[in-house]
Chain A
Amino acid sequence: MAKLKYDKNGRLLFTKEMKKDYTILAPMMAPIHFHLIINVLRNCGYKFELLENDGPNVVQEGLKYVHNDTCYPALLVIGQFIDALHSGKYDVNKTALVITQTGGGCRASNYIHLLRKALQKAGLEQVPVISLNMSFLEGNPGFQITLPMIRKFVAAMVYGDALMLLRNQTEAYEVHKGDSNAMVEKWSEYLNDQFNHGKGLSRIQQKEILYRIVKDFASIEIKKVPKVKVGVVGEIYVKYSSLGNNDLENFLREQDCEVNLPGLMNFALFKVDNRLEDIKLYGGSPAKYFFVDLLMKYLRQMQDTLIGAIKSEPRYNAPQPYPHTKSLVKGVIGYGDKMGEGWLLTAEMLELSEEGYENIVCAQPFGCLPNHICGKGMIHRIKAIDEKSNIVPIDYDPSATRVNQENRIKLMLAVAREKLREQENETQPGA
């Protein structure tokens, strides 16, 4: 074990010494993205490992060490960590953990503290926890977020969004089962290899690779048949994590739907944009505005590259640029609603509906505070704006049973299928 050092408030630090031989465990969320991101971090000189353990013990450990009324994602993420540390697979004296912290007004900013409390309860106080955040919370001598790291991070996120989108839009119609997933594998491997050699990260390279990826996906043989198109929005963890949402994506695929999960890029843009909105709404330093705006512009460019690449093949439906998404909620919900997924969640529902994915699962942890407002609270208004939207809110928590959840989703799908049949009849006069 490395020498344990603490800051003045008694927080255990991740030291430079630890950086050398500690393994840093990261929780799983969106698999395609996270595999790429982990590799980026590894290439920054850290020994990262992405946790893939799931199963009932993760929930059990979560229930045991986290206040049971805390939101489900906290319970799962912490459960996953403790389960891994208890598994014997890692030397607990040479392991650190990493967790994101947004610094927003939602409970999620407190996950890291709940994790530390859990570690203490479990007798694992020697395990340092690193906060991954953009709000200058909690520094560590052995772990620094640098500009190149952010750049690589963003690149990985863009690639992840592209692969996820292409996979979802291809898989539902592929003639040979498994083609799309194989394609994801292939390109993930390729990208990781590029990252290992410090390549694939410049804008020019990125653009070039994205176009190649899109082209490659477009070569997969498909048969376009009318399918129910379902969008998934929600609290970020249960939206993406199969552990959190009882494998929602696969359930929807088994129900013969095309699934659309809006990407992570918008979330990143949203979080950065919030800082600008804060200044616009309440006042603040013009210098800060200038710098945040630079970052915003950079991210926008990245998104434009992504959209451009997807659009190069007409068979794919590209996401809308951020300003358009944002414009959809004008007069629906204020831009000041920034906690959790905030107004973006509402905007995503409107965008999905506009793009033909009007059947929507709005997934949230049971009792999710921000979603009372921007999720469930906005459905009424969305229906008023866009009558065809068919939204079902689903709550996830340790013992909400799958049967209950799937039954409600099936009701949404039954309505969707009926509409699909009507549409088919309309488009085939005389049928």
Chain B
Amino acid sequence: MKVGLDVGSTTIKCVVTDDNGKIVYQSYERHLSKITEKMTELLTKVKDEVVHGDKALLTVSGSAGMGISQTCHLPFVQEVYATRIAVGRLVPDADVIIELGGEDAKILFLTGGTEVRMNGSCAGGTGAFIDQMATLLNVKLDEMNELANQYEKIYTIASRCGVFAKSDVQPLLNQGARKTDISASIFSAVANQTIAGLAQGRPIKGKVLYLGGPLTFLSELRASFDRALKVTGTCPENSLYFVALGAAYCSAEETDLDKALESIRKYGSSGNFLSIPPLFNDKQEYDEFCLRHEQCKAPRGDIETYAGSAYLGVDAGSTTVKAVLLGKDGEVLSSLYRSNSGNPIPIIQEYLLDLYRNHPNITVESSAVTGYGEELLKNAFGLDFGIVETVAHFTAAKHFRPNVDFVIDIGGQDMKCFKIRNGAIDNIFLNEACSSGCGSFLQTFANTLGYDIAEFAKLGLFAKHPVDLGSRCTVFMNSQVKQAQKDGATTEDISAGLSVSVVKNAIYKVIRVPNAADLGRNIVVQGGTFLNDAVLRVFEKELGVEVTRPDISGLMGAYGAGIYAMRKSTGKSSLVGQEELENFKHEVKVTNCGLCSNHCRLTINIFGGNRRFIGGNRCEKPVTKHSGGAELDMYAYKLKLLRSYLPAMGPRGKIGLPMGLNMYELLPFWHTFFTKLGFEVILSPLSNRELYIEGQATIPSDTVCFPAKLMHGHVQALVDADVKNIFYPCMSYNFDEHLGDNHYNCPVVAYYPEVISANMQCLEGFNFIHDYVGIHRKYDFPRKITPILRRSFPDITLPEVIDAAKDAYKAYDGYMDDIRKKGAEMIEEARKRNMPIIILSGRPYHLDPEINHGINKLITSLGAAVISEDVVSIREKRFTTKVLNQWTYHARLYAAAKYIGDQPDMNLVQLVSFGCGVDAITTDEVRRILEEKDKIYTQVKIDEITNLGAVKIRLRSLFAALEK
């Protein structure tokens, strides 16, 4: 008999076939990461109940089976390879296989040149990702499938990494989007991710097979793939077992099952993993620790006996909703801490009703709300004030420790830390979308391992050998935990290790300090995650200071909002009354905004009493019906200016320029150059989602920055418009603005045309001119480009080119002058109107609304003027930086940062593209330059999709700090 064992990342599958290849036994179960135990159990069963002492040929496969089989000398076959073997035998006419597993996604092309593709370690999270999403929606997987079946609209959810998608789903939930639509959107995101990440330009057609757990169990996921691929794929019989079957078919060596079992048992107890000292050495140490922290208590009042004025604070966080009712003296009368189950509205409704019904002697005099759901709840219940989270947390922290100089809050989904300087919030650190090692991260792991979070956290306190797991995002952590388990770490060790990882993530990735002294001595920690003693302990140990953890650590946002409400109270609250609450109405409508070309997908919440709330908008247009402050927005101005370079008919025909990356700023140059040479210059259209999707299948590297990825869509658009000549040159060097040591373009900007040329097959039959040109050498440029152009247009002459180049340089200079003049005017106007000025710093291509996600509009809507970095950078002379200042665009950042150091009414916000390696260097340097002059550094990370909620927190906090 042949035994195939497929030990995957979340499940273990076993198949036994007889000598004719007929299946005589099969099993499928989740292994909850207890790999050795499950393997032992399964093999024992197979040995006793199926094989009955017959000859057994065993082969192991699967990612989690790899290490074991190697150490135990069991035959191993790589899982994708095994799948191919099985398909070759069972469905010989298949063309393409799509297999999703717990963490892996694979596509196998069988006909027309066999090729196997597997997701890289970054795009991990398919099955496990869907699990996480189901947890977030608070539904079971089969329910999610049901829900998806009834969808009406699909939202765009980042189709790259699970963690990103999560931060897209959360705001949707908070806006009140329907679970049916979200479920379907999640499936569609998975399909897009798999196809975009793995097909890499190769068309998927013919007979498509769907294999693996998620595609077997979730019919709607299959439907999403069908829709995306425009095919009807099949999910064959035994679709869960193809890897195990392939392994069985591969089996050629007789295996002594007893011996195998013995070596697996031994393997399980190797105890060989990297560990750190225990959190507590003994119970006594723990007791002392608890005693110390118990002393920090908020005053309490008795709601049953209390009568009179009260103040309500609500914190609608990403995964939980919290409320606190305060008495006249700030005593806590009652509190609420609940998972928001995807919708905070019914929870608050119930809480208020309970208050009205059971405590008629209490009058809520004022109320405030903070958190992700701020706007939604404020509109739903007529709460009086909405405040930004950081202000709420600071207000609360100050109450416990008036001289607080650092606050760190780790919540379910996000982490907020800030320093306090001169009584104002300064230097905010928020976790970027990529590193959400927060509360929900611990929760997800607890659930995967079959524990509830409180119980799981306790396990770690006395772990003998906490595992060193490093600090990384959830997707990486999954595999790291698995590895540790394989190496024999106990659940206790893992629990402690995960707590360590949360803290290290906070300290080294989010706050980025190597030294506790930099954080000050008066630290207040809060947020639900710090209720976990293990996390608190690790934090103190890592920083070497004793910190304050209030007993209402999880409620601090709400508490702060409550205090705020009390201070601002006018004596009369606009909160909805009991009668209205009893007949509370909440309706949700989804629609597309038609007020500008962004076409935001809006979620409209309609409540009783004519209150409504619109979510999903990037600007204030759909709310106020007019655009605000557009005249003081350099981003809008520059974009408009660039779009005014229109094609003019020319004798030499059309030439296309893809509008992305460095083409943005160089458009005046190239447009003039080619127009003068007699070409009709055709630009690719403004970016939008559809344009991106059109090109995404040809992106070879899924970790390159989003602006580069968009280029594929732009070139595709030119091809679709049948522009036969497309000009997109490689440029190692940019103009030398004499601000730095050199004037390079970054490697991606410099050479992306090579990627386009090598990966976009649609260019066949088109003339794609992507030679290397050097516009930084004015004299040489025409002499060098003439032969390049003559290859395509033999009649072009050098004198013509010299002439055109002269105009091109002039046009470029004119454009830059115009920008700087206009910018100066805007600054002057802003100063006249006493408006704060934000230098929104990035690269020229951050003008693209699809890239900046309307952040410029968000800033103007908050009442500030938006000026671009190139306006002020030339006001500085070259100066010494602490890094090698060698890129033209980045040199402007340093100069702009230096300039605003002496401008009291200017602040800098840096836009950073996710995956931009160069910005790992520039961000630290820009921050250093600003902090030298006591300026606040604000960074906004942007990607394919951006969580504007987080951006808003940063910006509102910045403005709140400026007001002080």
Instruction: Give the B-binding residues of A (Cβ under 8 A).
Output: 9-10, 56, 59, 63-65, 67-71, 101, 103, 105-107, 109-110, 112-114, 116-117, 121-122, 137, 278, 281-284, 332-340, 366-374, 376-381, 387, 393, 395, 398-408, 410-411, 413-415, 418
Contact A401 B483 (CB under 8 A): yes
Q: Mark B780-805, 1 if CB is under 8 A from A, else 0.
A: 11011000000000000000000000
Q: Mark B482-507, 1 if CB is under 8 A from A, else 0.
A: 11000000000000000000001000
Contact B747 A370 (CB under 8 A): yes
Residues of A near B748 (CB, < 8 A) are: 369, 372-373
Contact B747 A377 (CB under 8 A): no
Contact A398 B751 (CB under 8 A): no
Residues of chain B at interface, number, CB under 8 A = 83
Contact A366 B77 (CB under 8 A): no
Determine, out of B614-622, B671-679, B752-760, the stretch whose residues face the partner at the interface: B752-760
Contact B732 A336 (CB under 8 A): yes
Contact B759 A381 (CB under 8 A): yes
Contact A281 B784 (CB under 8 A): yes
Instruction: Give the A-binding residues of B (Cβ under 8 A).
Output: 63-64, 66-67, 77-81, 113, 116, 118, 120-122, 124, 200-201, 274, 468-472, 476-477, 479-480, 482-483, 504, 508-509, 512, 514-515, 700-701, 703-704, 708, 730, 732-733, 742, 744-748, 750-752, 754-755, 758-759, 770-774, 776-777, 779-781, 783-784, 880, 882-884, 886-887, 915, 917-921, 923-924
Contact A377 B472 (CB under 8 A): no
Residues of B near A405 (CB, < 8 A) are: 121
Contact A340 B747 (CB under 8 A): yes
Residues of A near B504 (CB, < 8 A) are: 63
Contact B700 A379 (CB under 8 A): yes
Choose among A380, A399, A415 the residue that contacts B759 (Cβ–Cβ < 8 A). Answer: A380
Contact B468 A56 (CB under 8 A): yes
Output the nearest chain A residue to B471 by Cβ-Cβ distance.
A63
Residues of A near B781 (CB, < 8 A) are: 282
Residues of A near B124 (CB, < 8 A) are: 404
Chain A CB within 10 A, most for which of B80, B701, B771: B701
Contact B772 A336 (CB under 8 A): yes
- Shortest C-beta distance, A412 to chain B (Å), equals 9
Contact B884 A113 (CB under 8 A): yes
Contact A414 B783 (CB under 8 A): no
Contact A64 B514 (CB under 8 A): yes
Choose among A103, A107, A114 the residue that contacts B918 (Cβ–Cβ < 8 A). Answer: A107
Contact B118 A64 (CB under 8 A): no
- Shortest C-beta distance, A345 to chain B (Å), equals 12
Enumerate the 6 nearest inter-chain pairs by beta-carbon distance, A residue then B residue, closest first: A283-B780, A282-B774, A336-B772, A105-B744, A69-B920, A414-B81
Residues of A near B917 (CB, < 8 A) are: 69-71, 107, 367-369
- Supply 28 A–B pairs (Cβ within 8 Å), ascending by A: A59-B470, A67-B920, A68-B512, A70-B920, A71-B917, A101-B884, A110-B884, A113-B884, A116-B882, A117-B882, A137-B884, A282-B773, A282-B776, A283-B777, A284-B780, A336-B732, A369-B917, A372-B703, A372-B704, A380-B200, A398-B470, A399-B472, A399-B480, A403-B483, A404-B63, A404-B121, A414-B77, A415-B81
- Shortest C-beta distance, A396 to chain B (Å), equals 9
Choose among A367, A369, A393 the residue that contacts B746 (Cβ–Cβ < 8 A). Answer: A369
Contact A106 B747 (CB under 8 A): yes
Contact B470 A399 (CB under 8 A): yes
Please, how many angstroms separate the alpha-carbon atoms of A374 and B750 in the complex?
A: 12
Output the nearest chain B residue to A380 by Cβ-Cβ distance.
B759
Choose among A109, A366, A379 the residue that contacts B884 (Cβ–Cβ < 8 A). Answer: A109
Contact B514 A411 (CB under 8 A): no
Contact B755 A373 (CB under 8 A): yes
Output the nearest chain B residue to A67 by Cβ-Cβ distance.
B920
Output the nearest chain A residue to B472 by Cβ-Cβ distance.
A399
With A334-B754, A401-B121 given, is the CB distance from A281 to B116 under 8 Å? no
Residues of B near A367 (CB, < 8 A) are: 703, 915, 917
Contact B508 A105 (CB under 8 A): no
Residues of B near A121 (CB, < 8 A) are: 514-515
Output the nearest chain B residue to A109 by Cβ-Cβ distance.
B884
Interface contacts beyond A105-B746, A336-B772, A415-B81: sample of 14 additional A-B pairs, CB < 8 Å, sorted by A? A56-B468, A110-B886, A117-B924, A338-B732, A367-B915, A372-B704, A380-B201, A395-B703, A398-B472, A400-B476, A402-B483, A403-B66, A403-B483, A414-B77
Output the nearest chain A residue to B104 by Cβ-Cβ distance.
A407
Chain B CB within 10 A, most for which of A67, A335, A373, A402: A373
Please, how many angstroms separate the alpha-carbon atoms of A281 and B771 in the complex?
A: 9
Residues of B near A379 (CB, < 8 A) are: 700
Residues of A near B923 (CB, < 8 A) are: 67
Residues of A near B469 (CB, < 8 A) are: 399
Output the nearest chain A residue to B473 by Cβ-Cβ distance.
A399
Please, how many angstroms separate the alpha-carbon atoms of A113 and B921 in the complex?
A: 9
Contact B921 A395 (CB under 8 A): no
